[in-house]
Amino acid sequence: MRTSFLLLFVALILVPVAGFTQRDAWLRQSSEPIDLPGGSRVEFTSFESDSIHGPAQFSVFTPPSYATSETSYPVVYFLHGLFNDHTSWTIDRHGDIPRLLDERMTSGQLAEMVLVFPDGGRSFYTNYHDGTMKYEDLIVDELPGHIERNFRVKPGRASRGIAGTSMGGYGALKIAMRFPERYQAVAVHSPIVFPIENPFDVPPEARSGRFYQYLSSIFLRVYGEPFDQTYYDENNPLVLAKSAPLDGLGVYFDYGTADRYNASVGLGQGLRMLDQALSSREIEHTFGEHEGEPHGWELVYTHIAESMDFLASRLR
């Protein structure tokens, strides 16, 4: 397991860093709104955040009838992965997710809802241990407050869901499990769920590697330097699945058997452990394993119909 986690550090960083000089390919270069054929719209905007001491950027998808009605809608907060931002879900290389949502809502296959995609940096959607940056507070408190004041969304748990992919899948799971009184349901794709207790539990000879050092810098910034195992456990979906009060929270998670992190670290193993933890407590949930399918936004595009249907069926 120690060797496999070393490979996780390499896998998490090698693919993004190898293409980091082309990082723009993962981000949208224009902030112009996207108007979709069925009437849905994507806007890119921000507000000044006390939690992160500056502009909190996000994109918001409003459904087909939003511009022509006075209806208030359920809302889903969707969290992106590492090296992505609030625009990445709109990049065509992943499949046209905005158009897919527009088509499904226009046809009546998916209930209309507002979706909000915040920029979470590389925070794992967790408040920094030293209190300097509070990304969890941003997602849980500030952003919903801003959205509910400025968009026609229904307030309260019954109409609020959270979702994500990769790092954002981790973030959405742990936020929903830490604050089940605020979210009716959570749905995630390819969530980074670590199958060992301590992410620094790698052989000493591995610690000089630049990939280990890079991810270490992210983890130490978030979880404390020296690393605070207790604080990490408080934000670990596997730990929360065993102890948090989750009755009434709808939980959906899936991954592909060809996920690049499954081959290196056994991401599937971590998710099967999550499945077992929830099952042992008889927490109702949906767990999907997709044969031969990959990681991240490509998996999202293929299965967002299932995850959004899951959320829509539970949101008022």
Asked whether the predicted pLDDT for residue 16 surpasses 60, the reply is no
The per-residue pLDDT for 20 is: 40
Q: What percent of the chain has pLDDT over 90?
A: 78
- Strand order of the β-sheet with 285-290 is 34-35, 41-49, 54-62, 114-118, 75-79, 160-165, 185-189, 250-256, 285-290
Asked whether the predicted pLDDT for residue 99 surpasses 90, the reply is yes
Burial 140-168, CB ≥16 within 10 A → b, else e: bebbbebbbeebebbeebebbbbbbbbbb
pLDDT band at 93 (very low <50, low <70, confident <90, very high): confident
Residues 6+ apart with CB under 8 A from 21: none
Residues 6+ apart with CB under 8 A from 261: 8, 11, 12, 190, 192, 267, 295
For the ranges 161-170, 216-225, 255-264, 274-283, the lowest mean pLDDT is seen at 255-264
- What Cα–Cα distance (Å) separates residue 162 from each residue in 54, 110, 128, 154, 219? 23, 17, 21, 14, 23
The per-residue pLDDT for 2 is: 44
- The token pair at 103 is 């088509």
Largest separation between any pair of C-alpha atoms in the chain: 62
pLDDT band at 207 (very low <50, low <70, confident <90, very high): low
**Cα distance between the two ends of the chain:** 43
The pLDDT of 229-237, averaged and rounded, is 97
Asked whether the predicted pLDDT for residue 4 surpasses 50, the reply is no
pLDDT band at 30 (very low <50, low <70, confident <90, very high): confident
**Average of per-residue pLDDT values in the chain:** 90
For the ranges 103-107, 182-186, 260-264, the lowest mean pLDDT is seen at 260-264
CA distance 52 to 29: 23
pLDDT band at 36 (very low <50, low <70, confident <90, very high): very high
Asked whether the predicted pLDDT for residue 19 surpasses 60, the reply is no
How much is the pTM?
Answer: 0.92
pLDDT, one tens digit per residue, over 107-158 is 999 999 999 999 999 999 999 999 999 999 999 999 999 999 999 999 999 9
Strand partners, 79: 164
The per-residue pLDDT for 17 is: 43
The per-residue pLDDT for 301 is: 97
The pLDDT of 194-216, averaged and rounded, is 74
In contact, 95 and 143? CB cutoff 8 Å: no
The pLDDT of 33-40, averaged and rounded, is 98
CA distance 92 to 74: 26
The per-residue pLDDT for 194 is: 87
Q: Which helix (H) or strand (E) holds 103?
A: helix 97-107
Q: What percent of the chain has pLDDT over 70?
A: 88
**Beta-strand pair 185-189/160-165:** parallel
Cis, peptide link before residue 226, omega less than 30° from 0: yes
The pLDDT of 262-286, averaged and rounded, is 90
What is the full DSSP assignment across 105-124?
HHHTSS---EEEEE--TTST
pLDDT band at 40 (very low <50, low <70, confident <90, very high): very high
The per-residue pLDDT for 9 is: 45
pLDDT, one tens digit per residue, over 164-192 is 999 999 999 999 999 999 999 999 999 99
Q: Give the CATH number of domain 2-312.
A: 3.40.50.1820
